[in-house]
């Protein structure tokens, strides 16, 4: 009897050991699955946030923490709008609406576009909120994926602008060609006639004609610069020295206390392969724009920074600024916010920078000034 009981106990022990081994295997499998999920969660290159129905953050991924400069313990338990917008209220303000509120109402996926202010400027964020299946206790959770679309939108805008400039350039080239020869004839004959006159009033009128002819000749020359394919002559150049040369010229052209030219040049820039003469032309255009935006005088600041794969030049003024509507048009040919502007300086600058495979953009606030950013990639 005792032997049978011992055998039965041994059998139960072995069955229990088998069940424990299965449980251990299941636990290890769950740990492995959890590790894979955490790796995937943190490996996604977009911001991910899990919140409950009361806006409380339950989890965030590594990219979210890096973008906000936080530790996970600091973010968890906070309300999402306190972290993302430093606001005590949900992000229903202006033309924006809260994706969590909408997802709760509809029970389906919601996508919104929000503007987020950062130290680097305004970023365009696409936020997509997904409701998760409700738990047995009725608790509701939502997962939000936020994508920074600023650079992609900027690239799309640059591409559209390049296509428009190319189309306009072809038409302008034909017009400039048709104007150039008759203009030379008008100017030449007017000068010959002037030299035969003795009537002062007639001479004065012809001088006005010649003055306008010369103005149109300068415009035709600018049209040629705009339509011409910019063939670069690249060579190693010290960008900071190029900037100093331009500012020396500007100081000579604008002596006195009305305008000041300051620099904040990064000392760790290496020699850079570019066409320094073309870069000087662009810088001159940018600085002249800044001067003309400050009729009462002011300061123009030029900064350089090392950037990943290249350099960035920023030219800032404290002038009248540019409206949001005009900001989208400043690189269009013949568009100018100035009375005396031809509207070709910025389009020419745009084409020169694009010939360097770089980018040029502007940020401005009316009444506060404008900053032009030029990004030049290091040639591969």
Q: What is the pLDDT of residues 317-334, one digit of tens each?
A: 998 888 888 887 888 777
Question: Higher-confidence residue: 92 or 211?
Answer: 211
Strand 359-365 and strand 57-60: the pairing is unpaired
Alpha carbon distance 196, 206 (integer Å): 11
Burial class (CB in 10 A: 0-12, 13-18, 19+), 90: middle
CATH code for 232-380? Answer: 3.30.565.10
Written as six digits, the tokens of 9 are 């106990």
Q: What is the pLDDT confidence band of residue 374, given thresholds at 50, 70 and 90?
A: very high
pLDDT (tens digit per residue) in 123-162: 778 888 888 887 666 778 898 888 887 777 777 676 676 6
CA atoms within 13 A on the CB side of 209: 18
- Sheet with 310-316, edge to edge strand ranges: 259-264, 298-307, 310-316, 369-377, 359-365
Strand 259-264 and strand 298-307: the pairing is parallel
Buried b (16+ CB within 10 A) or exposed e, 175-185: ebeeeeeebee
Q: Where in the chain is the domain with CATH 3.30.565.10?
A: 232-380
CATH code for 151-228? Answer: 1.10.287
216 CA to centre of own chain? 36
Q: Where in the chain is the domain with CATH 1.10.287?
A: 151-228
pLDDT of residue 115: 76
pLDDT (tens digit per residue) in 9-24: 666 667 666 676 666 6
pLDDT (tens digit per residue) in 170-210: 666 666 666 766 777 777 778 888 888 788 888 888 888 88
Alpha carbon distance 287, 374 (integer Å): 13
- Contact yes or no for 72/58 (Cβ under 8 A): no
3-class SS at 45? Answer: coil
pLDDT (tens digit per residue) in 204-229: 888 888 887 777 777 766 666 655 66
As a 3-state breakdown, the chain gives helix, strand, coil percent values, each rounded to 5, of 50, 20, 30
Q: Rounded mean pLDDT of the chain?
A: 80
Q: Which CATH code, of 3.40.50.150, 3.30.450.20, 3.30.530.20, 3.40.50.720, is assigned to 38-148?
A: 3.30.450.20
Alpha carbon distance 24, 28 (integer Å): 6
Whether this prediction's pTM lies above 0.95 is answered by no
Using the Cα atoms of residue 331, residue 335, residue 340 and residue 344 in order, give the sign of their dihedral: positive
pLDDT of residue 265 exceeding 90: yes
Q: Where in the chain is the domain with CATH 3.30.450.20?
A: 38-148
Lowest mean pLDDT among 27-41, 65-79, 124-138, 314-328: 27-41
298 CA to centre of own chain? 26
Which of 300, 318, 295 minimizes the C-alpha distance to 251? 300
């Amino acid at each position: 009897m005792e032997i049978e009981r011992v055998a039965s106990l041994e059998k139960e022990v072995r069955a229990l050991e088998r069940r424990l081994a299965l449980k251990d295997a299941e636990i290890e499998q769950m740990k492995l699955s959890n590790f894979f999920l955490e790796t995937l969660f943190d490996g996604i290159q977009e911001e991910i946030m899990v919140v409950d129905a009361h806006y409380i953050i339950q989890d965030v991924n590594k990219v979210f923490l890096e973008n906000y400069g936080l530790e996970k313990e600091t973010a968890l338990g906070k309300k999402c709008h306190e972290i993302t917008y430093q606001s005590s209220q949900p992000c229903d303000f202006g033309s924006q609406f809260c994706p969590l509120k909408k997802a709760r109402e509809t029970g389906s996926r919601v996508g919104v576009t929000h503007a987020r202010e950062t130290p680097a400027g305004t970023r365009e964020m696409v936020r997509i909120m997904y409701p998760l299946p409700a738990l047995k206790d009725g608790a509701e959770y939502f997962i939000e994926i936020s994508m920074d679309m600023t650079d992609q939108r900027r690239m799309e805008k640059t591409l559209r602008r390049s296509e428009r400039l190319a189309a306009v350039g072809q038409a302008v080239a034909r017009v400039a060609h048709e104007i150039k020869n008759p203009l030379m004839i008008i100017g030449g004959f007017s000068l010959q006639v002037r030299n035969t006159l003795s009537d002062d009033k007639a001479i004065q009128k012809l001088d006005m004609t010649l003055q306008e002819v010369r103005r149109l000749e300068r415009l035709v020359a600018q049209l040629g610069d705009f339509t011409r394919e910019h063939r670069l002559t690249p060579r190693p150049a010290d960008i900071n020295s190029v900037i100093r040369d331009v500012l020396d010229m500007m100081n000579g052209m604008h002596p006195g206390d009305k305008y000041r030219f300051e620099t904040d040049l990064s000392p760790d820039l290496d020699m850079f392969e570019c066409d320094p003469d073309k870069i000087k032309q662009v810088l001159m255009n940018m600085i002249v724009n800044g001067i003309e935006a400050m009729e009462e005088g002011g300061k123009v600041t030029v900064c350089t920074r090392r950037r990943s794969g290249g350099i960035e030049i920023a030219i800032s003024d404290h002038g009248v600024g540019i409206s949001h509507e005009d900001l989208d048009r400043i690189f269009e040919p013949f568009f100018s916010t100035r009375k005396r502007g031809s509207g070709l300086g910025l389009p020419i600058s745009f084409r020169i920078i694009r010939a360097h495979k770089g980018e040029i953009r502007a940020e401005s606030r009316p009444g506060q000034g404008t900053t032009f950013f030029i990004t030049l990639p290091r040639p591969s």
